[in-house]
Chains A and B, each alone.
Chain A
Amino acid sequence: MSERTGEASVREPSPLWEVFVRARRGLSHTHVGSLHAPDAELALRNARDVYTRRQEGVSIWVVPASEITASSPDEKDAFFDPAADKVYRHPTFYEVPDGVAHL
């Protein structure tokens, strides 16, 4: 069995990677979860084991979690609130001239 050190040494885990998988019939890559791996190549191998069960014909992306910039939950209102209450921003005040097809 693997040897254990006597003192309570906390080992640094490998870096965290985010995993995106496109299924065989899928149109786009979907975030499926994360895992630890020492480098990108092993992250890819681990992702195949953990998230795809080695199916043929899937595409996997791995990205170091540290590379991802996420929107802040605190800014949610400013970020995502639709402009529903600002009718002047809705393109509904135009008369469409006759003869304009396919608009």
Chain B
Amino acid sequence: MTGRYDFALRLGDDALIAAQRLGEWTTRAPEMEEDIALANIALDQLGAARLLLTYAGELEGAGRDEDALAFLRDDREFRNCLLVELPNGDFAVTMAKLLFLSAYQLPLYTALTECGDERLAAIGAKTRKESAYHLDHSSLWVKRLGDGTEESRRRMQSAVDQVWPYTQELFAADPAAPVDPAALRADFDAVVFPVLDEATLTRPEAGWAPAGGRVGVHTEHLSYLLAEMQVLHRAHPGANW
């Protein structure tokens, strides 16, 4: 099921959709400094998406470059996890999403550096450093909001409860992939649980586990996101500046 093409496409789609969502915060973050930080993280994700989608296009061998893959696929052709396509919500929801995404991406990219594929190993080496920063940033905020005012704690707990179910999909076993996501679960828990504890937040129970992103079955949110992201490229194919 999972060759290197599917694998690179999944990771590239995760990063691309995460970047698009984070980009929506630009000029709207709580403070100027945070605005800059979120834009930085969005650009890191976009850089990773470009590397991964370019490589996926080469592996596919059908002449699709990064732009074709990013701008000329419909939602059913996207392979990103559902987590990244969820709306930004308030600042707490965005930080919960970023914490869970980076706690998954960091061990994933780190494991990639050891994999047999030279190109994926090189991408892992570059993106790993950026992921560590994303994890650091989101951990700090989750702790501060969780262990902050009554209102910030209420919102942070509600954000974690809301987003948590979508983390299950990240670790679906896939022994054929260059890195089996099931092997990353322990690393994820080892990072996320202490952050939630320090933030005085209750760990959510494992329950409802929505999935489908990896096979192109998405939430209602993705097609709207894509409509906005792709409108220019579809109206003016090949346009550049």
- B37:A45 contact, CB within 8 angstroms: yes
Is the CB of B185 closer than 8 A to any CB of chain A? Answer: no
A50 to chain B, nearest CB (A): 6
Answer whether A45 and B140 are a contact pair too, CB < 8 Å, given A13-B31, A54-B133: yes
A2 with B137: in contact, given A13-B31, A49-B36 (CB under 8 Å)?
no
| Chain A residues numbered 16-58 whose CB sits less than 8 Å from any CB in chain B | 35-39, 41-42, 45-46, 49-50, 54
By a CB distance below 8 angstroms, the chain B residues around A35 are 32-33
Known: A1-B28, A2-B90, A2-B91. A45 touches B36 (CB 8 A): no
A37 and B90 contacting across the interface, CB-CB below 8 Å: no
User: Which of A14, A35, A42 has the most chain B CB atoms closer than 10 A to its own CB?
Assistant: A42
B28 touches which of A2, A36, A39, A50 (Cβ 8 Å): A2
| B residues less than 8 Å from A54 (CB atoms) | 133
- Indicate if the CB atoms of A50 and B91 lie closer than 8 Å: no
Interface residues on A, range: 10 to 19
Which residues of B125-172 are within 8 A (CB) of A?
Answer: 133, 136-137, 140, 144
Report 24 cross-chain contacts, Cβ distance below 8 Å, ordered by A residue: A1-B24, A1-B28, A2-B28, A2-B30, A13-B31, A35-B32, A36-B31, A36-B32, A36-B33, A37-B31, A37-B33, A38-B144, A39-B144, A41-B140, A45-B136, A45-B137, A45-B140, A46-B34, A46-B36, A46-B37, A49-B36, A49-B37, A49-B40, A50-B36
Q: A38-B144, A42-B144 are in contact. List 16 more A-B contacts (CB 8 A).
A: A1-B88, A2-B90, A2-B91, A3-B90, A13-B31, A36-B31, A36-B32, A37-B31, A39-B144, A42-B140, A45-B136, A45-B140, A46-B33, A49-B36, A49-B37, A50-B36
